[in-house]
Structure 1
Amino acid sequence: MALQPLAYRMRPRNLEEVVGQEHLVGEGKIINRMVQAKMLSSMILYGPPGTGKTSIASAIAGSTKYAFRILNAATDSKKDLQIVAEEAKMSGTVVLLLDEIHRLDKTKQDFLLPHMESGRIVLIGATTENPYLSINPAIRSRAQIFEVKPLSEEDIRVAIRRAMEDAERGLGDYHAVLAADAENHLVYATNGDLRSALNGLELAVKSTAPDAEGVVRITLPIIEETVQRKALTADKDGDGHYDVISALQKSIRGSDADAALYYVARLIEAGDLQIIARRLRVIAYEDIGLANPAAVARAVTAIQAAEQLGFPEARIPIANAVIELALSPKSNSAYTAIDAALADVRRGGHGDVPDTMKDAHYKGAEKLGHGVEYVYPHAYPGDWIPQQYLPDKLQGTQYWQPKGNSKVEQAYADQYQKLRDAQQKGLH
């Protein structure tokens, strides 16, 4: 047990110990219901590394008391699958976590299918790939597909503290104390990857000598070394992480290229490529948006290049994106428009989709009047004709409020207004 990594030892023994993924394992949610009803079915879990796919499989097995086995679709053979199948015949049911299921070949797949259908093997496939694109339809049709989402910083913090306190499986016997700024950095620097966080924590504890009082004191510099990521600041509350990201977006929004370069340089120095990529994508669409769609597209391309290159070369396309976004015309009109539409949706009570807009591609739709009076715009000059699209109670609602901060957005604004005027005239 001592030789097994901390992340392995801390795997949840039941659903209650799973960190995060409340949308799947929380009270009343789908996997929780399966376990409670003892009606397990094969499933595919997909999401980023270190977010809990193996943990969920382990917790399902622990909660149901079924045997739990782990294989890799790429490296383990058909013979390994046969061993699991034989065990399932003896014990009744085996929960099999099959990692990298997107790499399952046809021979192994054909062997697994009858065992999945009989229920002897509850297959839990794990993958970082989109299963709708990467997994064979024969497997996909026999399994439910669930997305495993990145863990929140609070989820990571809970798991870290649990590992620090657990004397049986964790680090509780080491008398270790994790400084607040060290904990913050461990949470932030691992970007939702719990496995990386626990690996860094275990290395820090086991490689640090106790002080004169017998306490292993884990400081920020130690965590920086064990996770190989520098902290943005050493402030006590860890706010520097958010402050720098906030300053980067505000500098670009305010068109200060030099300030934006300075703040992105701090993120680069900290090695936060994932954070930079995500934030620049948000900035491109939120703050530049329809004022300069070409700049948005170029920024996304630059971010993709940075992710493919990695540091240190990634700094070059990042700099290109930051400078162009900072100097570009700005508009948040699309961002505010979708928020206005969402506000209406969340308030509810706006009536049904108009009958003309309803799906008519099924038997009986015509009797219900669905889609009967829909007019096909492409059959008319200019590929347009006035007809009602919004529900009755929302007729005339204007969500998009164009700003016209560039020739591009002004052209969109002119077309938008022209179509709104023609629509209102045509419907009255």
Structure 2
Amino acid sequence: MLFDSLVEEPLSYRMRPRHIDEVTGQQHVIGKKTALYKMIKNGYVPSMLLYGPPGVGKTSIAKAIAGTVQKPFQAINATTAGKKDIEEAVQHAKAEGNLILFIDEVHRFNKAQQDYLLPHVERGLITLIGATTENPFHEVNPAIRSRCGQIKELKPLTPSDIRALITRALKDEERGLGKSQIAISDDTLTVLSKSINGDARSALTVLEEVIKASEKDESETITIEQQTVKECIENKGFTHDKQSDIYYNLLSSLQKSIRGSDVSAALHYLARLIEGGDLKAICRRLIVIAYEDISLAAPEVAVHTVNAVVAVERLGLPEARIPLANVVVEQCLSPKSNSAYTALDAAIADVREGQIGEIPAHLQDNHYKGAGALGKGIGYKYPHDYPNSWVNQQYLPDLLKKKKYYEPKESGHEKLLSKVFHRLESLKDSD
């Protein structure tokens, strides 16, 4: 106990909002004009799910809600809590009349915990606020989702939100740094506000680290230097869990930026993925892009991409960034086509729906005794025996003989393929 009393709580912990009017950012969720804000101000708290990246305020908002309505609050983590923790929460609620139970990592809630808790949520004894970094529509058990009237996505804070949070911490004499004489220039404050990737917890943690790394002058003033901020901020705000929505959103954004031929955006998302350190995922996605989005319009890009991947695997970081930059810029500026795989997808859809028909007899295997008597392979025309190695004959089953899956695009190299395709189609039609 004596040790605990001597430990100073982190600034990010001390500055957590005590009620919803102290919440920084998230105005689309809990701003004064939202229905949720009005409900809470009227003393009603619905069960809800809050999801978003780390550091955006999920726990803080839950505590602020409890502080606003003056109701008992208990927090547990689904990864470490057992059924006994849920039972204790229910007993607490029965004693107090109602309890706001905050469950972090709620997507990891197991069935035993769920089966015990949810009836008490339905009765109104427990108000559940679940938090997760995952998309609840993909990862959270439907039974939990169905009990939550509000499902809200929290977004990374804007630089102006972070700036307001830091300014408040610097001025707050009770919980913040207001009792100290701290000097920070507007430019330095801007650097700190813009470099945290919208993570409130990281912003306050960096601020605290910067102050610890700064010296007082003769007047007891701590002057925060921009270089110190940059050193303390390095690599914060860029890491991402390989199983999280953030990770998959970055991969998706990289591909969509390349597909949209936006070089700057593609390099931005590539940089964020490189900082995350998963070269394997980057390389896999770039190969997919070469065949899915560029494809027949510039088939040489697939070769260049595979060569770049080999170079990346041999080089490793930091040199691997060089072939990655080359191939991403080339992919962005190459003509695009998705006609080949969309044609195959259309054929697969027919097969899955039972649209297959009988294989024409002249195409069927005749490399066995008695095949001729069964009519197998009879009438097959061997294309190499004809001029230009082409002869008109039916290849699709009768059920699909008029079907055309492939529609070439007039883009890049595919223009040449398109001319061949349309010439062959016209020859078929003329016969």
TM range, normalised to the smaller chain? 0.5 to 0.7
Q: How does 1:204-243 map to 2 (within 5 A)?
A: 204-229=210-235
CA distance in 2, matches of 1:201, 1:130: 30
Number of residue equivalences: 316
Distance 1:409 1:39, change over 3 A: farther
Distance 1:64 1:379, change over 3 A: farther
Alpha-carbon contact 2:298-2:336 (below 8 Å) kept: no
Provide the residue aligned with 1:183 in structure 2. Answer: 189
Unaligned runs of 5+ in 2: 237-256, 338-398, 422-431
Alpha-carbon contact 1:289-1:331 (below 8 Å) kept: no
State the secondary structure of the residue aligned to 1:122. strand
Q: Which residue of 318, 329, 333 maps to 1:330?
A: 333
Distance 1:35 1:320, change over 3 A: same
Shift of 1:33: 3.0
State the secondary structure of the residue aligned to 1:126. strand
The more displaced of 33-42 and 196-205 is 33-42
Provide the residue aligned with 1:49 in structure 2. Answer: 54
Give 1:88's aligned amino acid.
A
Distance 1:156 1:292, change over 3 A: farther
CA distance in 2, matches of 1:211, 1:84: 51
Distance 1:187 1:222, change over 3 A: same
CA distance in 1, matches of 2:300, 2:162: 38
Mapped pair 1:14 → 2:25:
no
State the secondary structure of the residue aligned to 2:54. coil
Provide the residue aligned with 1:197 in structure 2. Answer: 203
Mapped pair 1:142 → 2:151:
no
Alpha-carbon contact 1:292-1:328 (below 8 Å) kept: no
Give 1:135's aligned amino acid.
V
Alpha-carbon contact 1:45-1:124 (below 8 Å) kept: yes
Provide the residue aligned with 1:319 in structure 2. Answer: 322
Alpha-carbon contact 2:173-2:179 (below 8 Å) kept: yes
Shift of 1:206: 3.3
Structure 1 or 2, whichever has the larger Rg, is 2
Give 2:169's aligned amino acid.
A
Aligned-CA RMSD value: 4.6
State the secondary structure of the residue aligned to 1:173. coil
Q: How does 1:1-400 map to 2 (within 5 A)?
A: 3-143=8-148, 144-229=150-235, 313=316, 315=318, 318-328=321-331, 330=333, 381-382=402-403
CA distance in 2, matches of 1:294, 1:218: 52
CA distance in 2, matches of 1:145, 1:67: 22
Distance 1:164 1:130, change over 3 A: same
Aligned sequence identity (%): 38
Distance 1:253 1:118, change over 3 A: closer
Shift of 1:51: 0.7
> What whole-Å deviation, never above 9, does each CA across 1:153-208 have from its counterpart, x for those lacking one?
21111111111111111111121122334323322332111111111111222343
TM-score, length basis structure 2 = 0.60
Shift of 1:120: 1.8
State the secondary structure of the residue aligned to 2:179. helix
Give 2:137's aligned amino acid.
Y
The more displaced of 168-177 and 184-193 is 184-193
TM-score, length basis structure 1 = 0.61
Give 1:31's aligned amino acid.
L
Alpha-carbon contact 2:11-2:208 (below 8 Å) kept: yes
Alpha-carbon contact 2:47-2:128 (below 8 Å) kept: yes
Alpha-carbon contact 1:7-1:199 (below 8 Å) kept: yes
State the secondary structure of the residue aligned to 1:141. helix
Give 2:189's aligned amino acid.
E
Alpha-carbon contact 1:46-1:147 (below 8 Å) kept: yes
